[in-house]
Amino acid sequence: MRVGRNVARILLLPSMANITKAQLVLHDGSCVIGDHFGGHRSMSGEVVFNTGMVGYPEAMTDPSYRGQVLVLTYPLIGNYGVPVNGQSKGGIAGLKMSELLESDRIQVSGLVVSTLSKRYSHSTALDHLDSWMRQHDVPGISEVDTRTLTKKLRTHGTMLGKMVIDGQDVQWEDPNERNVVAEVSVQEARLYPGLGEKKIILVDFGCKESILRHLTNARLDVLRVPWNYDWSDEPADGIVLSNGPGDPKMCSGALDIIRKGLKRDRPVLGICLGHQLLALAVGADTFKLKFGHRGQNQPCIQVGTKRCFITSQNHGFAVNEQTLPQEWKPWFFNANDGTNEGMQHRERPIFSVQFHPEANPGPLDTVFLLDSFINTVRRGQ
């Protein structure tokens, strides 16, 4: 029965009678066996887990997951499909693919789930998760005890892993030992016109599309530039240092540019990797977390208050708060492990957060921070 313009689409996964087995081999020698789906190739990467209940299409297309094997802790995955397929680059109800995903391709190297739904139902769904992953040649493993696997990663820490299909072994590969930012950043500068009220430079270290959308929806002109583009003398009313993948210290080529850019008096906002790079540029240090923060349910407390915000996060490194220079003060901290989640300059409109205030796929608790930055730019402060 038709219930409105957005009618839920329910489709069944093609016959899975010929499912093959796949292995997830961890660097400590342990092995997990499950059912193979998605792309038919073996691969390796850093095995991480995400505790979100929803948002697998957004997570899988987030450039911050470049080079990683993603373990989803929620037990049922694929039940609402994906909002794009191989034939169509748009959704329904006037939504384009860029309005539903975080980049134009799957960024994770592999996916591990407990149960892969054999059917999906959602008004924006155009394809099954398995079919979408086959089109992008990204392998997956289902029928895995992801609870036990996650507990192992929490106890021993994030580790390297291989997803082996049909016994085709591959070499170990650690994405943190290469500059993965260069792999996901845009290759040339591009202007996204708003209404010309103000101009923002968005430094793309692996930027989520939702950050760009939020800025352009606020009627700002946005110049999106590559990670190593010298924007320091570029005319602009504000700077956004985006999220991105990997170890921030592998992106050292951007630090001198940030230092030069900070000499000009204009608002600066750092998000996730942008927060870490800003901290490194001003003289602080970063370190690798044992298993990182990934999901849409990370609690963060504003320093000096009892106010707790539920945030969306995806990172494996953090800023060492004890190394912040005197002119900087901590802003937020993680309620679970006490690590730094934000910092502010004591006098200038320069601040950064480790979480994602653009809130895609949610929650909306901290979207006001991005709006506050935009208002600061508009006031010319």
Residue spans per domain, the chain = 9-177, 181-379
The pTM for the full model equals 0.92
Residues 307/313/315/321 CA torsion (nearest 10 deg): -10
CATH architecture type of domain 9-177: 3-Layer(bba) Sandwich (3.50)
Active site residues: 272, 356, 358
Distance separating alpha carbons of residues 209 and 96, to the nearest angstrom = 12
Query: What is the structure's pLDDT at 197?
Result: 79
Task: Provide the residue count of the chain.
Answer: 381
Q: Strand order in 340-345's β-sheet?
A: 190-192, 221-225, 199-203, 238-241, 268-271, 350-353, 340-345, 328-334, 285-302, 308-320
Beta-strand pair 268-271/350-353: parallel
End-to-end CA separation in angstroms for the chain: 54
CB atoms within 10 A of CB 331: 20
Distance separating alpha carbons of residues 341 and 134, to the nearest angstrom = 36
Kindly tell me the burial class for residue 141, based on how many C-beta atoms sit within 10 Å of its own C-beta (0-12, 13-18, 19 or more): buried
CB atoms within 10 A of CB 87: 8
What CATH superfamily classification does 181-379 receive? Class I glutamine amidotransferase (GATase) domain (3.40.50.880)
Query: What is the structure's pLDDT at 87?
Result: 41
Residues 6+ apart with CB under 8 A from 177: 250
Q: How many CA atoms lie less than 13 Å away from 215 in the CB half-sphere?
A: 30
pLDDT tens over the chain, length 381 residues: 333 334 344 444 444 446 688 999 999 999 999 999 999 999 999 999 999 999 999 999 999 999 999 999 999 999 999 988 544 344 333 445 557 799 999 999 999 999 999 999 998 898 999 999 999 999 999 999 999 999 999 999 999 999 999 989 999 999 999 999 999 999 999 999 987 779 999 999 999 999 999 999 999 999 999 999 999 999 999 999 999 999 999 999 999 999 999 999 999 999 999 999 999 999 999 999 999 999 999 999 999 999 999 999 999 999 999 999 999 999 999 999 999 999 999 999 999 999 999 988 989 999 999 999 999 999 885
- Residue pair 194/202 in contact by the 8 Å Cβ criterion: no
Query: What is the structure's pLDDT at 16?
Result: 47
Cα maximum dimension of the chain? 64
Query: What is the structure's pLDDT at 286?
Result: 98
